[in-house]
Amino acid sequence: MAKEIFSRYEIKYLIPYTTYEVMAKELQKKMTFDSYGDPEGKYTIISLYFDSDDRKIYYETRNKDRFRQKLRLRIYNSATLEDNAYFEVKKKFKKRVHKRRTSIKLKDAYRYIDDFSLDESDFRISNPQIFREINAFKTHYNLRPENIVSYDRQAFSGIEDKDLRVTFDFNLRCRMDDKRIEKGPHGLFFVDPNLVILEVKVDHSVPLWLSRLLAELGCTKKSVSKFCTSAELLNENIKQPVSEIY
């Protein structure tokens, strides 16, 4: 999980779990399991999202502003306070997604969240420049921890096209009552467990063979925001998972 800078298109779909099972088998003919996961390319993601008191980040995403951005603190699988986490800024402009992140010890990430006066000189971080960008973003919007989103992922990487990546996210859960990501992936389901979020991530365009596979399986593009959907569930205190995502 060492890569720190990403720029690509991310095309999202909402598909039945049964379609995921069929597609995952078909992808193995053209792709390989992601090397960062287990032998089947699977791992768990737990993210703490941030927003301002006036929910500016939420509304930027919900209204599909031309330029929008998010801040999150993320771990993979599990972590202790002594392990590394990732502060990440995700920006979207003209449909292209840009991500910049830096690693930091989880205990130091919490120190930074609690004390706005701290800067990159107070921590051991992998990329001070990106941390300064994160700090400027957090300070400008006066961002604070909002909610935790967690899910299981299976990821595939292209064999010939190294920039091609396909991911399936399932067991999508969220919570506000416990904002410690090291406590693991628990919370309310905010997507029906029988549905899977599929993302196709490419540098330029989707390969023809994959476009045909998506069409054959009846996959249609569906705008999906894990942050917005989870925030709406938690803030409205809805106790049942949604069956569709805007």
pLDDT tens by residue, 33-68: 998 899 999 999 999 999 999 999 999 988 888 899
pLDDT of residue 6: 87
CATH topology for 5-236? Answer: mRNA Triphosphatase Cet1; Chain A (3.20.100)
Q: Among residues 155, 141, 151, 113, which one has the least CA distance to residue 227?
A: 151
Domain ranges in the chain?
Answer: 5-236
Mean pLDDT of 179-207: 95
pLDDT of residue 238: 35
Could you identify the residue written with the tokens 């920039």?
Answer: 163
Question: Residue 240's pLDDT band (boundaries 50, 70, 90)?
Answer: very low
Q: At what angle do helices 17-27 and 208-216 cross, to 10 degrees?
A: 150
CA dihedral defined by 43, 188, 12, 197, rounded to 10 degrees?
60
Q: Are strands 195-202 and 5-16 parallel, antiparallel or unpaired?
A: antiparallel
